[in-house]
Amino acid sequence: MKNLIVICLLILPLTLSAQKNEKANFEVSGNCEMCKKRIEKAALSVKGLKVANWDIPSNILSIVYHSEKVNLLEIQTAIAKVGHDTPLAKAPDGTYDKLPMCCLYKRTLE
């Protein structure tokens, strides 16, 4: 009986925290492996983000995040700050201009 209580106490917090995790996918502009590293690093620097994987051919970032700690705007803003446009946040022109040549993607006018 004691072992059952200990197991329940260990598993219960894991199941409760898993319920707060959400998945999302959104486009992040970029071109290459250097972009991938920069985008994923920026995303993972945000507290509450658990997983970030940017797919180069599709330009889609797949994330798992703790929805009570962070929202999509905060994540996309962090990515934009390092030079990559997202649906909710545009990279500052000065930051975009400093990207390596291979990382300069075609920007849309807004």
The number of distinct structural domains making up the chain is 1
Residue 9 lies in a domain: no
Angle at which helices 72-81 and 33-44 cross, to 10°: 130
CATH number at residue 84: 3.30.70.100
Cα–Cα distance measured from residue 22 to residue 8, given in angstroms and rounded to the nearest whole number: 24
**Is pLDDT at 104 greater than 60 in this prediction?**
yes
Nearest 5°: phi and psi at 16?
A: -70, -40
Cα–Cα distance measured from residue 26 to residue 18, given in angstroms and rounded to the nearest whole number: 22
Cβ–Cβ under 8 Å, residues 64 and 18: no
Nearest 5°: phi and psi at 70?
A: -150, 155
Mean model confidence pLDDT for the chain:
89
CA 79 to chain centre: 8
The two tokens of residue 71 are: 């929202």
Question: pLDDT band for position 89 (50/70/90)?
Answer: very high
Whole domain around residue 37: which residue ranges? 22-103
Note the pLDDT of residue 9: 57
Residue 79 lies in a domain: yes
pTM, entire model: 0.81
pLDDT digits (tens, 9 = 90+) for 23-58: 999 999 999 999 999 999 999 999 999 999 999 999
Residue 56 lies in a domain: yes
